[in-house]
């Protein structure tokens, strides 16, 4: 089998493993399965996962760690079954200079095929299996290193191909670990909310749940979605290489499609969390609340103009209108660099017109012409599709003098309540 076939087989395995890891929610499962995959990918005898933690936690227990040291917790091991006493003594590692510590201290991979002769080697504790060959790679979330994966004792030693493969897989593991952490936090919050439920008034419940939904949506957007976006960007960069083998290219496209679907699912969850649960709430009141919050949290001045009277049929499109306004005003707040925004609602007999206009920097023409088909601008694409599916019209363009203008017209269905 040639090198190209080996690479293709490795990519197929990597794709399968990444999909499996992404579907897990429990940290213990993720660590155990990830290390099994690492052993298979690199043909190693031993593997471990270490995560950074508060350097003060547990430091006084053994006297081996100073609170000024970075501390890594070896949270999972495959290929070695330490006794409880051994694990208790050595699972917390002060990240001084060592073949493992250098991976996190210098935020880079480290390969040592003769560990005893390696300049970073500091020896091994009694009772630890001998480590003759070692490869460690960082677990990264964006620019932050949250821990590492280490493998050891591959027959014949490690090479740069092993390092690239393990580093790529480590990126998937880091996202899965962070996703599981968020999942656990969400479950803990749900349990706490249930415990508080009996003591809260109905108004207090609504207020608290609203804040928690917004916080969870923000965490999904700012952490998980951004990591998936980064994966997509890197896959695009790989696909632009002219010398890329066709089989490898197809598997990279499959990975890109997986990242696109994952990003869309995250954004759907964000929209669901951000949308009000009570669709009977007056749309004008909802918009006033959004604009008031925008003015409180930014220097932007907001204005609302409402014309016409909402009839019974208008209630049927208020959920779509809320989603559109939420996304449009979020974009103004985050990207427009605006001083003012104007929202206009006009109720006609058979349709509802919405206009959101700001005086900011506007958007590049390339974005305006490509966003309906681009997964990089899911928010705009999503609200446009909502309107189109409803039989309405959606237009976004730069203003004549400055800023961006979003114009939407949504038909009202006669007899809809």
Going by C-beta distance under 8 Å and a sequence separation of 6 or more, which residues neighbour residue 47?
A: 35, 38, 39, 77, 78, 79, 149, 150, 151, 152
Residues 151, 72 share a domain = yes
**Element housing 9 (H / E):** helix 3-22
231 and 165 within one domain: no
Last residue of a domain, one of 175, 210, 245: 175
Instruction: Spell out the alpha helix ranges (H) of 240-337.
Output: 246-274, 283-297, 318-331
CA distance 326 to 332: 10
Q: Are 7 and 124 contained in the same domain?
A: yes
The parent domain of residue 323 ranges over 283-411
Domain at 307, CATH number: 3.30.565.10
| Residue 26 belongs to a domain | yes
Specify the number of domains making up the chain: 3
Domain identity same for 399 and 367? yes
Residues 166 and 261 in one domain: no
Same domain, 270 and 289: no
Last residue in a domain, options 274, 297, 327: 274
Beta bridge partners of 74: 50
pLDDT tens across the length of the chain (417 residues)? 445 555 556 666 666 666 677 667 778 888 888 888 889 888 999 999 988 875 433 333 334 444 345 788 898 899 988 888 888 888 888 777 788 888 988 899 999 999 999 998 888 888 888 999 999 999 988 888 889 999 999 999 999 988 988 888 888 888 888 887 777 777 777 777 777 666 656 556 666 666 777 677 666 666 676 677 777 777 777 777 777 777 777 877 777 777 776 766 666 666 666 555 444 456 888 888 888 888 888 899 989 888 888 888 888 888 888 888 888 898 888 888 999 999 999 999 889 999 999 999 988 888 888 777 665 566 788 888 889 988 999 999 998 888 999 999 999 875 544
Using DSSP, state whether 46 is helix, strand or coil.
Answer: strand
Co-location of 377 and 401 in the same domain: yes
Same domain (yes/no): 49, 139: yes
Is 321 found in the same domain as 234? no
With contact defined as beta carbons under 8 Å apart, do 263 and 230 qualify?
no
* One domain for residues 106 and 204: no
Is residue 242 within 8 Å of residue 197, measured between CB atoms?
A: no
User: Quick one: 147 and 236 in the same domain?
Assistant: no
């Amino acid at each position: 089998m040639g090198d190209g076939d080996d690479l293709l087989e490795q990519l197929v395995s990597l794709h399968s493993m990444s999909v499996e890891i992404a579907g897990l929610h429990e940290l213990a499962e993720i660590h155990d399965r990830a290390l099994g995959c690492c052993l298979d990918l690199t043909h190693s005898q031993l593997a471990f996962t270490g995560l950074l933690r508060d350097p003060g936690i547990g430091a006084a227990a053994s006297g081996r760690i100073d609170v000024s040291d970075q501390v890594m917790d070896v949270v999972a091991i495959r290929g070695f079954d330490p006794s409880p006493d051994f694990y208790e003594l050595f699972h917390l590692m002060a990240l001084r200079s060592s073949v493992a510590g250098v991976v996190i201290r210098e935020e880079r991979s480290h390969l040592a095929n003769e560990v005893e002769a390696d300049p970073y080697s500091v020896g091994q504790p009694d009772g630890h299996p001998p480590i003759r060959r070692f490869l460690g790679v960082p677990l990264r979330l964006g620019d932050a290193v949250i821990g590492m994966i280490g493998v050891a004792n591959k027959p014949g030693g490690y090479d740069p191909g092993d390092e690239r493969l393990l580093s790529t897989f480590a990126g998937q593991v880091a996202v899965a670990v962070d996703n599981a952490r968020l999942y656990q936090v969400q479950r803990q919050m749900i349990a706490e909310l249930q415990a508080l439920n009996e003591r809260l008034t109905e108004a207090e419940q609504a207020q608290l749940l609203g804040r928690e939904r917004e916080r969870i949506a923000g965490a999904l957007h700012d952490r998980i979605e951004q990591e998936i976006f980064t994966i997509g960007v890197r896959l695009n960069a790989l696909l632009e290489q002219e010398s890329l083998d066709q089989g490898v290219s197809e598997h990279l496209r499959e990975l890109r499609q997986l990242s696109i679907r994952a990003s869309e699912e995250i954004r759907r969850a964000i929209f669901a969390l951000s949308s009000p649960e009570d669709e009977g709430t007056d749309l004008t009141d909802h918009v006033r609340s959004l604009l008031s919050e925008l003015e409180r949290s930014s220097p932007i001045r907001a204005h609302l103009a409402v014309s016409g009277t909402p009839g019974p049929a208008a209630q049927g499109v208020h959920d779509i209108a809320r989603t559109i306004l939420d996304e449009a005003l979020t974009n103004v707040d985050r990207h427009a660099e605006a001083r003012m925004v104007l929202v206009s609602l006009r109720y006609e007999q058979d349709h509802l017109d919405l206009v959101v206009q700001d005086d900011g920097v506007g958007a590049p023409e390339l974005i305006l012409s490509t966003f309906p088909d681009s997964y990089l601008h899911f928010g705009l694409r999503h609200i446009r599709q909502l309107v189109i599916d409803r039989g309405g019209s959606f237009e976004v363009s730069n203003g004549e003098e400055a800023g961006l203008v979003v114009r939407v017209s949504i038909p009202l269905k006669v007899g809809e309540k």
